[in-house]
């Protein structure tokens, strides 16, 4: 442990000789001149700029998961866009897709972004592609950038093998390119952070995938004081070692957290009952995990990790963007328990019964995992996420290959359906202002939620005596913050009282109206066995929840698959509700989170087909119900220690 601290600090000592590099980053020197009073009272002078703090908190939308050309895979997908480009795009700008067209977000700028390139071989592919470097002398350099796809694939497989084994290739043990790219990550974040308007976070991806089981994490730093090199899976594939590193950094004043993603492809190893060494989870493990991983990325372009039909057979909305194969592989996933977050939340309650502490008390975020230094987030503006691999409708399986006129002909020929990705999600953070400190504090509080892309607004509170609180008003929100616990928090028992949950949601101004708000409950019974149940809590179109099925009536919202037009008069712009758990048992540990569903809309694959003037791929869902998932609130019969 001490040895590692020394190594990490010594990197710093060495980089201190290069301190001039950062000093020259273009930070604007502030020239102060005395301002006369007459200037201050000028009537059309804009209000003083700078963060305006709202104690009732605003919601900010952003992405904590974007790759640029500094990622080894993105570079091979012909992505040449830099971290600077990623920030420009997130701020509403236009950049170039590797397939040669311009891309721009439909719904305006994001509020924050973290560029999270793979730590493994960070910046290395560009170095190999640069004549004259030591890197360019590796024997497979030519094949990597060959025009012969089979050569590219076999050269690329050297990297995949290395990632799966966790061993850094000896011929790429020189870290100078990585150091340079990491510096670029840090400096671009500094250049684009604009308190009050746009926040950047320094981050990277820890790409551990032992035997292709996905244990990837994004590491997000709270500030600018970051280590000289990221901790990669080549240091260790064991996430516990990553947490040790983060703990050590914290001791010397560098704060960061890790966010697991694509639990759905972890083959049951993301949320286990046991530690890496196979021993049961104990208090020390649980506390260390929570200290370093308070959040999980619930949905991104490689599918959602909330739950799936086999794990939640009574949840008719679980069959949404379910990933079928391991990452970078055609091998079907066969193990689901331990790979989905709802299941993890339940396991957490079970472990708490045994070990006295819940390692899976995790809040929700979402991201794109876009590898184009950008992501569309929207279905009707989709250009996929992997450079020249899926830049066209044909490549991504929404339009049949050239030799086939229709999907019918294609499947009649016995051809496979191929893999499919979603459009990617967004993280929402409730915070007082759009600054790094305020947003990071929101992440730490877990006052966050994830969406499947649309900027749906959701507030969620749990507490006692919430009757009459209207979350659509400032007074109501103020009362809720004083009397109740927001999403991500802990609620303890109040003798003789039953808790209530208040929620409100508003649609994305550029997307479809909302259909319903649901509460997902998980709890443990007296035998320590966990259960789950889905309750609709508020319905659009004046619907009332059936007390037996706990479901809203079908609101009849439809989609015209030839134009993607949606029912103009179905669904509500805003839905709110106050809910009491009809099965509440004051003595049981439980969690509650909200899932907000939009009316159905065309999936991106259907939009592609409509544009091409053909019928959509029948092996893909034609429509989806976009959604938001709030961080849970945990109820506990006793005081949480």
Partner 1 sequence: MSTDTSPRPGLSSLRASGSRAIREPLFQFLLVAIVLFSLNSILNGGEAEGDGQTITIPEGRVLQIAESYRLMSGRAPSRTELEALIADYADEEIAAREATALGLDADDTIIRRRLQQKLTFLVEDSAATSEPTAEDLAAFFDAYQEDYILPARLAFRQIMVSPDKRGDAASDEAAAIFDELKAGADPTPLGDPSMLPKSMAPSPETGIAMVFGQSFAATLFASEEDGWFGPVRSPIGLHLVEITSREPARMPAFAEIETQVAADWMAENRALARSEFEENLRERYDVTIEWPAVYRDGPAGE
- Footprint of partner 1 on residues 224-283 (CB under 8 A)? 225, 251-254
Bridge partners of residue 364, in order along the sequence:
296
DSSP-derived 3-state class of residue 459? strand
CA–CA dist 149, 432 (Å, integer): 50
Segment interacting with partner 1 (CB under 8 A) among 19-27, 141-149, 387-395, 480-488? 19-27
Give least dist CB 10 to partner 1, A: 4
φ and ψ of 504, to 5 deg: -145, 145
**Of residues 9 and 311, the one with the C-beta less far from partner 1:** 9
Give least dist CB 134 to partner 1, A: 6
Give least dist CB 254 to partner 1, A: 8
Q: Is 457 in the site for partner 1 (CB under 8 A)?
A: yes
CA–CA dist 624, 490 (Å, integer): 32
Give least dist CB 494 to partner 1, A: 28
- Give the E-state strand segments of 91-192 in sequence order: 95-96, 102-103, 112-115
**Residue from 53, 176, 529, 562 in contact with partner 1 (CB under 8 A):** 176
Question: What six digits make up the tokens of 126?
Answer: 């560009």
**Ramachandran region, residue 134 (left: φ > 0; alpha: ψ -120 to 50; beta: rest):** alpha
Are 295 and 336 a contacting pair, CB within 8 Å? no
Q: Is 9 in the site for partner 1 (CB under 8 A)?
A: yes
**Of residues 266 and 438, the one with the C-beta less far from partner 1:** 438
CA–CA dist 450, 63 (Å, integer): 10
For the four alpha carbons of 348, 354, 355 and 357, in that order, the dihedral sign comes to positive
Segment interacting with partner 1 (CB under 8 A) among 54-62, 210-218, 305-313, 440-448? 54-62
**Residue from 331, 472, 565, 640 in contact with partner 1 (CB under 8 A):** 472
CA–CA dist 422, 450 (Å, integer): 14
**Of residues 111 and 272, the one with the C-beta less far from partner 1:** 111
CA–CA dist 225, 309 (Å, integer): 43
Q: Is 30 in the site for partner 1 (CB under 8 A)?
A: yes
Q: Which of residues 80-99 bind partner 1 (CB under 8 A)?
A: 91-92
CA–CA dist 356, 350 (Å, integer): 9
Q: Is 507 in the site for partner 1 (CB under 8 A)?
A: yes
Which H/E stretch holds residue 520? Answer: strand 514-524
Give least dist CB 20 to partner 1, A: 6
DSSP-derived 3-state class of residue 594? strand
DSSP-derived 3-state class of residue 178? helix
CA–CA dist 58, 447 (Å, integer): 11
Give least dist CB 573 to partner 1, A: 4
CA distance between the termini of the chain: 28
Segment interacting with partner 1 (CB under 8 A) among 27-35, 307-315, 378-386, 552-560? 27-35
Q: Is 149 in the site for partner 1 (CB under 8 A)?
A: no
The dihedral formed by the CA atoms of 51, 55, 61 and 65, expressed in degrees to the nearest 10: 80
Give least dist CB 207 to partner 1, A: 23
**Residue from 154, 180, 325, 567 in contact with partner 1 (CB under 8 A):** 180
Segment interacting with partner 1 (CB under 8 A) among 263-271, 309-317, 479-487, 509-517? 509-517
Give least dist CB 169 to partner 1, A: 18
Segment interacting with partner 1 (CB under 8 A) among 205-213, 472-480, 529-537, 578-586? 472-480
The pattern of x and - marking residues 552 through 581 that bind partner 1 according to CB under 8 A reads --------------------xxx-------
CA–CA dist 577, 539 (Å, integer): 9
Q: Which of residues 120-139 bind partner 1 (CB under 8 A)?
A: 127, 130-135
Are 51 and 100 a contacting pair, CB within 8 Å? no
CA–CA dist 344, 443 (Å, integer): 19
**Of residues 66 and 105, the one with the C-beta less far from partner 1:** 105
**Residue from 68, 70, 71, 107 in contact with partner 1 (CB under 8 A):** 107
Which H/E stretch holds residue 410? Answer: helix 407-412
**Of residues 51 and 621, the one with the C-beta less far from partner 1:** 51
**Residue from 274, 509, 565, 640 in contact with partner 1 (CB under 8 A):** 509
Q: Is 1 in the site for partner 1 (CB under 8 A)?
A: no
Segment interacting with partner 1 (CB under 8 A) among 55-63, 156-164, 314-322, 633-641? 55-63
How many helices, marked H, and strands, marked E, lie in the chain? 16, 25
Are 260 and 216 a contacting pair, CB within 8 Å? yes
**Of residues 194 and 525, the one with the C-beta less far from partner 1:** 194
**Of residues 6 and 274, the one with the C-beta less far from partner 1:** 6
């Amino acid at each position: 442990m001490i040895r590692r601290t020394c190594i990490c600090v010594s990197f710093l000592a060495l980089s201190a000789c290069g301190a001039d590099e950062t000093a020259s980053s273009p930070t604007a020197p502030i020239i102060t001149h005395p301002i006369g009073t007459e200037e201050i009272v000028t009537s059309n002078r804009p209000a003083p700029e700078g963060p305006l703090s709202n104690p009732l908190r605003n919601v900010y939308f952003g992405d904590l998961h974007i790759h640029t050309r500094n990622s080894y895979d993105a570079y091979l997908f012909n992505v040449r866009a830099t971290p600077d480009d990623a920030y420009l795009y997130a701020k509403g700008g236009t950049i170039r897709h590797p397939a040669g067209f311009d891309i721009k977000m439909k719904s305006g700028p994001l509020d924050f972004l973290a560029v999270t390139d793979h730590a493994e071989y960070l910046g290395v592919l560009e170095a190999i592609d640069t004549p004259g470097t030591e890197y360019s002398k590796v024997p497979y350099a030519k094949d990597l950038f060959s025009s012969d796809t089979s050569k590219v694939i076999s050269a690329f497989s050297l990297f995949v093998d290395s990632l799966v084994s966790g061993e850094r290739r000896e011929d790429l043990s020189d870290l100078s390119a990585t150091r340079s790219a990491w510096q670029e990550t840090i400096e671009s974040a500094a250049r684009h952070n604009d308190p009050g308007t746009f926040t950047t976070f320094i981050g990277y991806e820890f790409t551990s995938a032992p035997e292709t089981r996905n244990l990837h994490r994004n590491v997000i730093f709270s500030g600018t004081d970051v280590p000289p090199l990221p901790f990669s899976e080549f240091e260790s594939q064991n996430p516990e070692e990553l947490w040790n590193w983060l703990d050590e950094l914290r001791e010397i004043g560098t704060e960061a957290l890790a966010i697991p993603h694509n639990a759905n492809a972890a083959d049951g190893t993301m949320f286990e009952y046991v530690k890496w060494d196979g021993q049961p989870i104990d208090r020390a493990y649980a506390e260390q995990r929570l200290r370093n991983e308070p959040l999980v990325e619930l949905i991104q372009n490689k599918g959602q990790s909330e739950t799936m039909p086999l794990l939640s057979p009574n949840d008719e909305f679980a069959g949404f963007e379910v990933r079928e194969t391991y990452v970078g592989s055609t091998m079907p996933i066969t193990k689901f328990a331990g790979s989905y977050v709802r299941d993890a939340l339940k396991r957490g309650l079970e472990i708490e019964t045994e070990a006295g502490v819940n390692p899976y008390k995790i809040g929700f975020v979402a991201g794109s995992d876009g590898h184009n230094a950008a992501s569309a987030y929207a279905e009707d503006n989709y250009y996929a996420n992997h450079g020249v691999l899926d830049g066209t409708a044909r490549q991504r399986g929404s339009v049949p290959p050239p030799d086939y006129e229709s999907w019918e002909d294609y499947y009649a020929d016995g051809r496979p359906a191929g893999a499919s990705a979603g459009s990617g999600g967004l993280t929402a953070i409730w915070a007082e202002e759009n600054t790094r400190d305020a947003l990071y504090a929101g992440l730490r509080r877990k006052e966050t939620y994830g969406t499947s892309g649309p900027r749906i607004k959701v507030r969620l509170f749990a507490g006692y005596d919430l009757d009459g609180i209207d979350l659509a008003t400032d007074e109501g929100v103020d009362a809720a913050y004083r009397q109740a616990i927001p999403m991500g928090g802990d609620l303890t028992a109040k003798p003789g009282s039953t808790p209530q949950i208040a929620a409100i949601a508003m649609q994305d101004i550029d997307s479809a109206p909302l259909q319903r708000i649901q509460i997902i409950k998980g709890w443990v019974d007296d035998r320590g066995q966990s259960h789950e149940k889905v309750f609709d809590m508020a319905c659009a179109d004046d619907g009332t929840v059936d007390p037996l099925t706990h479901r809203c009536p079908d609101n009849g919202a439809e989609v015209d698959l030839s134009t993607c037009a949606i029912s103009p008069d179905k669904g509500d712009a805003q839905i709110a509700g106050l809910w009491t758990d009809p099965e509440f048992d004051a003595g049981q540990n439980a969690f509650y989170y909200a899932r907000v569903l939009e009316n159905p809309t065309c999936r991106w694959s259907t939009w592609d087909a409509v544009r091409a003037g053909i019928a959509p791929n029948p092996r893909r869902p034609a429509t989806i119900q976009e959604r938001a998932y709030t961080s849970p609130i945990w109820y506990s019969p006793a005081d949480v220690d």
